[in-house]
């Protein structure tokens, strides 16, 4: 079913027909950011339903949670279920986990873009995407390039608002060890002490999750990008729903 957006008196479209009864859609819900996000959404009174699409079960139960176990290779068979008010996308992998650059591209770009496209076509008005600091579709480096390409491609989809969150290195509880990331974070923290590499300052997964939810209270432009200090400030703002 498609959302109908109400019209403000000044002619601007309101993205949410019923702001206190929103339905969230989450992909990447079993990850560091996504798991924190789902927990916050389930306790946020302005969301009445949280639809999760994942390849495995989420160890959370709530009457607000609607969990779909799906195969992202078969999105055409379930994409009609991608309906609601906001699509939150926190999916991603590492080259090591994916096994190759091609496989990483499939997860970091194709799966997320396919979900965003289906959601936009189903009338979901708002996308909130976790990208990365340094995202740049023209970068010679693979990771910032795929993040930049995804940003560019989702912004061309017919959402009323596309919110891009660009965190630096993420920390928080993970089931697996990511030694490279941990060493990188130690280096960045050292540099930060000297006032260098501030935009790469590490951020906790829960802070990113908070910022994702708060970002939908400040939809002043069609494309909104949150990074650097603004992202930390957004995460610390009082929850406006
Ligand atoms: N790590 C960093 O320091 C860093 C920095 C900046 C930005 N980012 C980006 O921020 C976002 C969130 O990062 P995160 O650390 O929270 O991610 P994460 O913990 O690695 O979680 C990734 C999510 O994507 C899902 N996923 C991975 N491969 C999949 C597949 N083949 N099919 C279906 N689902 C799949 C995972 O599901 P399973 O649990 O089933 O695997 C999980 O829900 C990602 O886009 C990441 O690239 C990361």
pLDDT (tens digit per residue) in 67-94: 999 999 999 999 999 999 999 999 999 9
- To test the pocket of ligand 1, the residue of 27, 52, 92 to mutate (highest count of ligand atoms within 8 Å of its CB) is 92
Rounded mean pLDDT, 137-150: 98
Cβ–ligand 1 distance for 167 under 6 Å, the answer yes
Position 9 confidence tier, pLDDT thresholds 50, 70, 90: very low
Greater model confidence, 235 or 5: 235
Give the pLDDT confidence score for residue 239 in this predicted structure: 55
Q: Taking residues 148-171, what's their average pLDDT?
A: 97
**Pair of tokens at residue 18:** 């019923």
Residue matched to tokens 């079913």: 1
Query: Does pTM surpass 0.95?
Result: no
Query: Which residue has its alpha carbon closest to ligand 1 atom 42?
Result: 31
Q: For residue 130, how far is its CA from the centre of ligand 1 (angstroms)?
A: 10
* Phi, psi values for residue 132, rounded to 5°: -160, 150
Tell me the CA end-to-end span of the chain in Å, nearest whole number: 24
Q: Reduced to 3 states, what is the DSSP secondary structure of residue 203?
A: strand
Q: What is the DSSP string of 53-110?
A: EESS--S---TTEEEEE--GGGGGGTGGG--SSEEEE-----HHHHSSHHHHHIIIII
Statement: residue 136 has pLDDT above 80:
yes
Q: Is 35 left (phi over 0), alpha (psi -120 to 50) or beta?
A: alpha
**What domains lie within the chain, and their CATH numbers?**
19-173+204-236 (3.40.50.720)
Q: Which residue CA neighbors atom 8 of ligand 1 most closely? A: 132
Q: Which two tokens stand for residue 155?
A: 């912004």
Pocket probe mutation, ligand 1, options 26, 28, 96, max atoms within 8 Å of Cβ: 28
């Amino acid at each position: 079913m498609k959302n109908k957006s109400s019209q403000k008196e000044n002619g601007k479209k309101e993205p949410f027909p019923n702001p206190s009864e929103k339905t969230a859609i989450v992909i990447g819900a079993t990850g560091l950011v996504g798991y924190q996000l789902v927990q916050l959404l389930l306790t946020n009174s302005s969301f009445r339903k949280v639809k999760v699409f994942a390849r495995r079960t989420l160890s959370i139960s709530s009457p607000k949670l609607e969990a779909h176990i799906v195969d992202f290779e078969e999105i055409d068979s379930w994409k009609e279920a991608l309906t609601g008010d906001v699509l939150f996308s926190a999916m991603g992998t590492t080259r090591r986990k994916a096994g190759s650059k091609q496989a990483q591209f499939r997860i970091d770009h194709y799966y997320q873009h396919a979900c965003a496209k289906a959601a936009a076509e189903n009338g979901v008005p708002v996308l909130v995407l976790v990208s990365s600091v340094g995202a740049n579709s023209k970068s010679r480096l693979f990771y910032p390039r795929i993040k930049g390409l995804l940003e560019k491609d989702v912004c061309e989809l017919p959402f009323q608002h596309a919110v891009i969150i660009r965190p630096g290195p993420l920390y928080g509880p993970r089931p697996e060890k990511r030694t490279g990331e941990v060493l990188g974070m130690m280096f960045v923290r050292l540099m930060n002490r000297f006032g260098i590499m501030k935009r790469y300052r590490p951020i906790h997964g829960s802070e990113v999750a908070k910022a994702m939810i708060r970002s939908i209270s400040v939809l002043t432009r069609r494309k909104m990008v949150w990074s650097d200090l603004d992202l930390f400030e957004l995460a610390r703002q009082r929850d406006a729903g």
